[in-house]
């Protein structure tokens, strides 16, 4: 079973600027690590578009978004093997053990 999903464009808030990250040529785990590093620079609600060619992104991006508390708005494969993800940054999550 493939975890690849196409997400509806109707959910994409078009009024926000989109930050872009090109991870072309980077292989697992780098696309997710680079996405996480870029996401730390953004504010809650900001959008990050990630473009890459590693097939692992199809499975890794939804898992990372769920674990990190971000919202995956779009994940699609385009001609030429490009994989485009659009992620909305979620609110900060408390660190384990902090109270």
Tokens of 51: 């473009």
Choosing from 12, 26, 28, 30, the catalytic residue is 28
- 3-class SS of residue 36: helix
The CATH superfamily assigned to 17-88 is: TusA-like domain (3.30.110.40)
Verify whether residue 28 is a known catalytic residue.
yes
CA distances from 68 to 46, 54, 60, 90 (A): 14, 20, 12, 8
- Residue 91: pLDDT band with limits 50, 70, 90: very high
- 25 class by beta-carbon count within 10 Å (0-12 exposed, 13-18 middle, 19+ buried): exposed
Q: What's the pLDDT score for residue 17?
A: 87
* pLDDT tens per residue, range 20-56: 999 999 999 999 999 999 999 999 999 999 999 999 9
């Amino acid at each position: 079973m493939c975890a690849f999903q196409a997400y509806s464009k109707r959910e994409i808030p078009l009024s926000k600027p989109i930050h872009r990250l090109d991870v072309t040529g980077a292989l697992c785990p780098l696309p997710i690590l680079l996405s996480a590093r870029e996401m730390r620079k953004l504010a809650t609600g900001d959008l990050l578009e990630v473009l890459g060619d590693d097939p692992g992104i199809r499975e890794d991006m939804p898992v990372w978004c769920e674990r990190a508390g971000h919202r995956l708005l779009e994940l699609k494969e385009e001609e030429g093997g490009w994989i485009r993800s659009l992620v909305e940054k979620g609110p900060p999550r408390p660190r384990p053990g902090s109270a």
